[in-house]
Amino acid sequence: MTKIIDLSKPIQYNKEDPWFMRVKIKHKPHRKAKWLIRALGLPFRLFPKDFTGWADDLIQKLGVHSTTHIDAPWHFSPTTNGARSKTIDEIPLEWCYGEGLVIDMRHKEDFDPITIEDIKEFLSAENLEIKENMIVLIMTGRDKYNGTKDFHKKGTGMGKSATEWLIDQGVKVMGIDSWGWDLPLPYMIQKAKESNDPDLFWEAHLVGKEYCHMEQLVNLEQLPYSGFKVAAFPLKLVGASAGPSRVVGILNED
């Protein structure tokens, strides 16, 4: 039997989200469609029995980074390795489906970056290995803050060297259940200003290598560390830096 675990957060308005990320969706009731159909030429007397019209919905605001999504290389930089970076509609679909691996980093404290050593210690302790084209999911447990005003302010995140190391193992798509891939945005801004270091901000995003990462995953604790597939297909938004995605883990329980 196949079991599917939903790793995507709901797309809905949340007043606690940062102002620049709030989703707005207008839900249109069935009755409004009756007048549209009448305006298009169908008399009321010819409406099907018990027809109340169709429901419809309008996405008034949905930033591509506002919910569970995949960031394309274009998000990080206009060029990668001297060539134009791929936008989300250009990433190979083969990258978005494959064997999954969960790396459990729930023990990491807020603002303590995940290192190569952290990942290697986990893999060794659990007798796991990273294979080429795996989809690697970093579990921090910070999805518990999802929907709260502190979601983007708390958590650990991937360091630059750890991100590069995963890419060098042949990983094309990786993901995390925190708000972002790096350490929390307000914290990075603060530390960059305190240290006067221009290389500190967004260091894990700016590795200069071709890969994609997912942000704002949920329910990673429902997956085993290995032995499952991940499907993570983004919306095909032409020229976009990311795509909202319905990410799922697929387990064969036979």
At 153, which CATH number? Answer: 3.50.30.50
For residue 197, which amino acid is it? D
The most confident of the ranges 26-35, 36-45, 77-86 is 77-86
pLDDT at 20 over 90: no
Q: Does residue 75 share a domain with residue 42?
A: no
Q: Does residue 71 share a domain with residue 152?
A: yes
Position 32 scores a pLDDT of 86
Tens of pLDDT, residues 206-237: 999 999 999 999 999 999 999 999 999 999 99
Task: Give the β-pairing of 83-84 and 79-80.
Answer: antiparallel
Question: Quick check: helix, strand or coil at residue 248?
Answer: strand
Q: Does residue 120 share a domain with residue 196?
A: yes
Q: Does residue 244 share a domain with residue 220?
A: yes
Residue 181 included in any domain: yes
Q: Does residue 157 share a domain with residue 109?
A: yes
Tally Cβ neighbours within 10 Å of residue 49: 4
Per the CB < 8 A criterion, the answer to whether 81 and 210 are in contact is yes
Tally Cβ neighbours within 10 Å of residue 16: 12
Q: Does residue 120 share a domain with residue 42?
A: no
pLDDT at 56 over 80: yes
pLDDT at 3 over 80: yes
Q: Does residue 170 share a domain with residue 197?
A: yes
Q: Does residue 231 share a domain with residue 163?
A: yes
Which domain, by its residues, includes 36? 24-61
Q: What is the dihedral of CA 161, 163, 165, 166, to 10 degrees?
A: 170
97 pLDDT band (50/70/90 cuts)? Answer: very high
What CA–CA distances, in Å, run from 239 to 88, 187, 243?
A: 7, 30, 10
Q: Does residue 246 share a domain with residue 212?
A: yes
- State the first-to-last Cα distance of the chain, in angstroms, to the nearest integer: 6
pLDDT at 50 over 80: yes
196 pLDDT band (50/70/90 cuts)? Answer: very high
Residues 6+ apart with CB under 8 A from 30: 52, 53, 54, 55
H-type alpha helices, 85-134? 116-126
Give the mean pLDDT of the chain. Answer: 94
Position 38 scores a pLDDT of 84
Task: Give the β-pairing of 2-6 and 242-244.
Answer: unpaired
pLDDT at 253 over 80: no
**Gap between the Cα atoms of 142 and 11, Å rounded:** 18
H-type alpha helices, the chain? 30-39, 73-76, 116-126, 160-168, 185-195
Q: Does residue 159 share a domain with residue 181?
A: yes
The partner residues of 135 in beta bridges, in order of sequence, read: 100, 173
Residue 183 included in any domain: yes
Tens of pLDDT, residues 158-175: 999 999 999 999 999 999
Total domain count for the chain? 2
200 pLDDT band (50/70/90 cuts)? Answer: confident
Q: Does residue 108 share a domain with residue 208?
A: yes
For residue 83, which amino acid is it? A
Residue 241 included in any domain: yes
Backbone angles phi, psi at 89, to 5 degrees: -75, -10
Per the CB < 8 A criterion, the answer to whether 183 and 157 are in contact is yes
119 pLDDT band (50/70/90 cuts)? Answer: very high
Residue 237 included in any domain: yes
DSSP letter at 114 equals B
Q: Does residue 85 share a domain with residue 49?
A: no
Residue 102 included in any domain: yes
89 pLDDT band (50/70/90 cuts)? Answer: very high
Residue 18 included in any domain: no
Residue 192 included in any domain: yes
